[in-house]
């Protein structure tokens, strides 16, 4: 991302966003600082974790790791002003793209009725060419399709009986940290909030097999994206417009 081109600022003319990602901690690797900016503006943002990240700590059994990581995610969300965190509790590490995943995410879209849906990068690689992970790709792709499913009365129509009406109000889906990013947001003022949010995932960070410094990691990531807007720190999104 060192050769980040200039990008337009992302649209901030909205009130409610739903962020759907595969694991606890996924949003904290670059996106939480932007979320802190938006909650400070009075926007409502809901987190939806597809899994509980229970397979993410080698030294802790999933039965223990799942609840622990959920609590870390709730604390992490609060740091950046997010009070609503949903857990779908699908199996970590073996997510499969398909109808069950689309159905579960469509229900969240119908329930929360967002204008913007944020999800993880579902491309094969990250910026710089690093390979993506299967759960990220499955969750991101299913989120894009579930947004469109949510607006069709006859797709997953059994949800109507649960009081979940069709929702056609999503204007855009944003893929965080995509190698095909089209827009950026200035997170200079909320960078420290993003770092604090990432630090709340202490058990996950302690369980990594390498030395990890949250400050250094986010500083490198966000300062590399900064030139996209001519600022110190930024983060980027690939914006998929659903109006057309």
pLDDT at site 1: 46
Which phi and psi (to 5°) does residue 183 adopt? Answer: -145, 165
Beta pairing class for 116-120 and 172-176: parallel
How would you class 29 by CB atoms within 10 Å of its CB: exposed for 0-12, middle for 13-18, buried for 19 or more?
buried
- Give the residue ranges of the chain where pLDDT is below 70: 1-4, 244
The H or E element containing residue 123 is: none
Q: Helices (H), strands (E): how many in the chain? A: 7, 7
What pLDDT does 4 receive?
60
Kindly state the tokens that stand for 80: 């950046």
Token pair 């960070």 in the structure block, residue: 205
Q: What is the per-residue pLDDT for 3?
A: 59
pLDDT, tens only, 175-232: 999 999 999 999 999 999 999 999 999 999 999 988 999 999 999 999 999 999 999 9
Give the distance between the most distant pair of CA atoms in the chain: 51
For residue 139, the surrounding DSSP H or E stretch is helix 134-150
């Amino acid at each position: 991302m060192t050769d980040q081109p200039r990008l337009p600022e992302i649209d901030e003319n909205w009130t409610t966003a739903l962020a759907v990602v595969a694991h606890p901690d996924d949003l904290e690797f670059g996106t939480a600082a932007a979320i802190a900016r938006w909650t400070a503006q009075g926007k409502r943002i809901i987190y939806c974790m597809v899994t509980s990240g229970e397979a993410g700590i080698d030294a802790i059994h999933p039965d223990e790791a799942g609840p622990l990581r959920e609590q870390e995610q709730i604390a992490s969300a609060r740091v950046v002003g997010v009070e609503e965190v949903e857990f779908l509790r699908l199996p970590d590490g073996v997510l499969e793209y398909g109808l069950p995943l689309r159905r579960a995410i469509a229900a969240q879209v119908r329930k929360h009725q967002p204008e913007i849906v944020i999800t993880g990068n579902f491309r094969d690689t990250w910026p710089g060419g690093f390979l993506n992970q299967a759960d990220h790709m499955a969750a991101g792709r299913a989120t894009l399709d579930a947004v469109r499913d949510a607006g069709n009365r006859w797709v997953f129509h059994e949800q109507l009986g649960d009081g979940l009406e069709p929702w056609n109000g999503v204007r855009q889906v944003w893929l965080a940290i995509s190698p095909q990013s089209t827009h950026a947001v200035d997170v200079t003022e909320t960078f420290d909030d993003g770092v604090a949010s990432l630090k709340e995932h202490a058990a996950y960070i302690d369980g990594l097999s390498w030395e990890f410094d949250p400050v250094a990691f986010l500083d490198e990531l966000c300062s590399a994206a900064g030139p996209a807007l001519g600022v110190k720190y930024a983060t980027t999104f690939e914006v998929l417009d659903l109006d057309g």
